[in-house]
Amino acid sequence: MCELLGMSANVPTDICFSFTGLMQRGGNTGPHRDGWGIAFYEGRGCRTFHDPNPSAQSEIALLVQRYAIKSPLVISHIRRANRGRVCLENTHPFSRELWGRNWVFAHNGQLRGVKQLPLGHYRPIGTTDSEHAFCWLLDRIRHRFPKRPRQAGGLWSWVWALAIELNRLGICNFLLSDSTYLYAHCSTQLSWLTRQAPFGEARLMDAELTVDFRAETTPDDIVTVIATRPLTDNESWTVMSPGSLAIFGAGVRLAEFC
Amino acid sequence: MCELLGMSANVPTDICFSFTGLMQRGGNTGPHRDGWGIAFYEGRGCRTFHDPNPSAQSEIALLVQRYAIKSPLVISHIRRANRGRVCLENTHPFSRELWGRNWVFAHNGQLRGVKQLPLGHYRPIGTTDSEHAFCWLLDRIRHRFPKRPRQAGGLWSWVWALAIELNRLGICNFLLSDSTYLYAHCSTQLSWLTRQAPFGEARLMDAELTVDFRAETTPDDIVTVIATRPLTDNESWTVMSPGSLAIFGAGVRLAEFC
């Protein structure tokens, strides 16, 4: 199992607090020693940082925490390798271009026989099941929608249909984004939480850290955090139901398919 | 004009010395205030760092200098915007996947009417001439070679033919890599230098910095640096001839088309 972390917000927001909790699971409070990565969207651009080293001891992870990059949409992943050796090209999140947009994907679970799924346009660079699944997903989206659809609804339900197909091969919790929307698919385990006014205190489970969001936010801020397991022990997280797909935009849950 | 910097080496090598010189040109000794980026290959994987801020004042540039990432193949670019606003998605180097390889491209110059060139598979995410040219280049390579050719020679001469086509539209100095080879095309201005035993001292033009490579290397190391303009004033750089394409691998110049 790996750990996923995503964020969708209506203003550029730093994810340091949640990221600090997640990184502890990379070798300290969790067994995910096989690398980590994070993607920060900034407009149509996307910054990604990857490191095959355990996140709890990663210099790059420390940089990311210190530098406090603000972004409205973030996808992060820490890895416990099951398929594919530990190396940079096997480190999530993966990214590809479709319709002139950066698409980013991070996955946890194992997908038996996923490499039998035929690929067309996109090819894996590494050897993980996850990247193969991502390439297949984008190929199928591209095939169904050669151009970016005006209305997102049809695309959302198509992504859900594809997620269900992947579920048949095993466990397929994933976070996916096209730079506007954050798609969160729960195969077995995924939870989310929306923070908005009135803001309060949040206390990390995995580190001695509490933050008072009243001091960090404005009353208009809306920030949703999605994680494999809740990161705080004093807030009420929504546990997603297996097989469901939630779509978030600008901090708000826009739709859920289940 | 922008500034290009590339490195090809037979062992993972840090580029801090050359990078330090280049970064000075981003706002201090040079006018290239409109962002910078760098890509470090590591096996088939690739780390990229981008920043729309001037490199001379960029926190991320300082991180890259301090962190001293070692890589056998690096492409870097600092930007003076002419087409396309200053933002993350317009910051070189650009990257795309072809044949399951990471391709990276950085360009300096202006290409009149390049956006008239038809695109297929690859679409720009930003609005620069350079990214459009890169997408066109990869489309044409993919069209000619649907699969990665066993023999590189045909691919190299095809890239040269495409570079000449782009030259017709204006100025097109570029660095391109498929993770194995570094392609350096000189349209107007590009120089390179190979360092190998016996190593000596090198003195940066753009900063008060001298390094004695005898202390930094082993006798077997071979490192080639390619830059828009020579970065040191006490070594003999090879100035490339306009219209030529040089291909480097493992620190060595493997071929030159002119």
Choose, out of A34, A38, A47, the residue to mutate when testing the contact with B (most B CBs < 10 Å).
Answer: A47
Question: Which pLDDT value is given to residue A153?
Answer: 95
Question: Which pLDDT value is given to residue B31?
Answer: 64
Query: Do A141 and A98 meet the contact criterion of CB atoms below 8 Å apart?
Result: yes
* Contact criterion met (CB < 8 Å) for A125 and B101: yes
Active site includes B2? yes
Q: Which of B49, B90, B125 sits opposite A101 (nearest CB)?
A: B125
How does pLDDT run along chain A (258 residues), one tens digit per residue?
688 999 999 999 988 888 887 777 766 666 667 788 999 999 999 999 988 887 667 777 777 777 778 999 999 998 776 767 888 999 999 999 999 999 999 999 999 999 999 999 999 999 999 999 999 999 999 999 999 999 999 999 999 999 999 999 999 999 999 999 999 999 999 999 999 999 988 988 877 778 888 888 899 999 999 999 998 999 999 999 999 999 999 999 999 999
Question: Which pLDDT value is given to residue A1?
Answer: 60
At B230, list the tokens. Answer: 């020579």
Question: Which pLDDT value is given to residue A25?
Answer: 72
Question: Which pLDDT value is given to residue A81?
Answer: 67
Domains and CATH numbers, chain A: 3-257 (3.60.20.10)
How far apart, in Å, are the Cα atoms of B80 and each of A230, B32, B83?
A: 45, 4, 9
Give dist(CA A127, CA A142) in Å, integer.
Answer: 22
Beta strands in chain B (DSSP E): 3-14, 36-42, 45-51, 70-78, 94-98, 101-108, 173-177, 182-186, 191-196, 201-203, 210-212, 222-227, 238-239, 244-249, 252-257
* pTM score, whole prediction: 0.94
Q: Is the pLDDT of residue B209 over 90?
A: no
* Contact criterion met (CB < 8 Å) for B125 and A89: no
Question: Which pLDDT value is given to residue B217?
Answer: 86
Q: Which residues lie across from A211 on neighbouring strands? A: A202
Give dist(CA B167, CA B173) in Å, integer.
Answer: 9
* B residues 68..107 contacting A (CB < 8 A): 87-91, 96-97, 99-102
Question: Which pLDDT value is given to residue B62?
Answer: 77
What is the identity of the amino acid at B74?
A: V
Give dist(CA A3, CA B17) in Å, integer.
Answer: 37
The ipTM assigned to this model is 0.92
Question: Which pLDDT value is given to residue A20?
Answer: 80
What percent of chain B lies above the pLDDT cut of 90? 69
